[in-house]
Amino acid sequence: MKKIGVLTSGGDSPGMNAAIRAVVRKAIFHGLEVYGIYNGYAGLITGNIKKLEIGSVGDIIHRGGTMLYTARCEEFKTLEGQVQGIEQLKKFGIEGLVVIGGDGSYRGAQKLTEHGYPTIGVPGTIDNDIPGTDFTIGFDTALNTVIDAIDKIRDTATSHERTYIIEVMGRDAGDLALWSGLADGAETIIIPEAQYDMGQIVERLERGHKRGKKHSIIIVAEGVGSGVEFAKQIEEATNLETRVTVLGHIQRGGRPTGSDRVLASRLGAKAVELLLEGKAGVTVGIQNNKLVYHDITEILKVPHSIDLEMYKLSQELSI
Ligand code: ADP
C-alpha cells in the first residue's frame, strides 16, 4: 500500500482534527502518501480530493470541527454513489481509506468494504454510541461542555429557587446525559435506556423542595423526548417554577479536551497501522485502555448499551 485517503463524515465532533493529523503523520512516517477527501462521502463522489503533507495538518490538534469538512450524503447510500466513490479513489491511486465518523458513516465504510475496497472506521461522535469502543472521539469534550453549562445554570437555579430541565444531545443514546448528570449531581436523569416514572420524579422533586433544596436539575436526553414537554408536565404536577434549557449545538464544538486529543491520536494512528497490516473492513476502538479492532459488519449488528450500574448510582446519590 502506497497511498491512502482519509475523510470525516456525519456529525462533526471535537478531536476529529487530531485524528486526521494522526492518520496523516503516521502514514507519512511510514512512507505513504495521504489524500484528504473533503466533505465526506459527497466529496468522495465528486472527487474533491487533495494530497496532504505534514504541514497540512499543522496547528489543528487543538481545534474543534474538522478541517476536511463533513457532510451528509444521501447519494452514497445508493450503489451508484458507492461505485462512483470507488472510481474516484482508483483515479487518484488511493488503495485504502480511513473513515472518521459515527454509525451512519460506518455503514458507508461497510459498503465500501463489501465492494472490496479496504476501509477502516474510526469512531468520531459526541454521542458515545458506537459499540466496540468504550469511548468515541468527542464524547469527553462534549461532556465537559455540558458540565460547564450545567454549572452556570445551577447558579441561576439556586438564586431563583427554580427547577431546571436541561436537554442534552446523544441521539438515541443516553451516555452524555448520564455522565453529565452524574458529574453534576443532577436530581434526575432521564435516558432512553432506562424506564422512568413521572410519579416518582415528581415525588422526588417535592421531597427535595420540602427539605429546603434551593433548586433541582433534571437532565433529559434528547432521545427520550423534548425537554419543553417534560417541563410542562412537571410544572403541572408540582406547581414548582420550571425552566428549560436546550443546550443544542454548543455541545458539538469547542477545543477538544486532553483525553479526546490523546484518544484521537491513538485511534487515528492505529487505523493506519491496520491498513499497513492488510486489514480491511474493521473499526478501531479503545477497551480497558487497550487499542482494539473489530469487524465492522459485526459491530453494526451490536445494539448500543449503557452502564446501568452507573444509572443506579446516579439515583442513589441524588436521594
Ligand atoms: P454519523 O456518521 O454521524 O452517524 P449519518 O448517520 O448522517 O452520521 O451518516 C453519515 C453519512 O454516512 C450519510 O450521510 C451517508 O452518506 C453515509 N451513510 C449512512 N448510512 C449509509 C448506508 N446504509 N450506506 C451507505 N452510506 C451510508
pLDDT tens readout for residues 251-280? 999 999 999 999 999 999 999 999 999 999
What pLDDT is stored for residue 33 in this prediction?
Answer: 98
What's the fold here for domain 141-252?
A: Rossmann fold (3.40.50)
Task: Retrieve residue 182's grid coordinates.
Answer: 452524574
Residues of the chain predicted below pLDDT 70: none
Ligand 1 close to Cβ of residue 110 (< 6 A): no
Kindly report the pTM of this predicted structure: 0.97
Specify the pLDDT at position 46: 98
Which residue intervals of the chain bear CATH 3.40.50.450?
A: 3-138+256-299
What number of helices (H) and strands (E) belong to the chain? 11, 11
What pLDDT, on the 0 to 100 scale, is given for residue 95? Answer: 98
The whole-number pLDDT of residue 318 equals 85
pLDDT of residue 211: 86
Residue 198: per-residue pLDDT: 92
Q: How far is the CA of 104 from the centre of ligand 1 (A)?
A: 3
Numbered ranges of CATH 3.40.50.460 in the chain: 141-252
For ligand 1, say whether the CB of 138 is within 6 Å of any of its atoms.
Answer: no
Query: Which residue's CA is the nearest one to ligand 1's atom 6?
Result: 104
CATH class of this structure's domain 3-138+256-299: alpha beta
Helix (H, G, I), strand (E, B) or coil at 76: helix
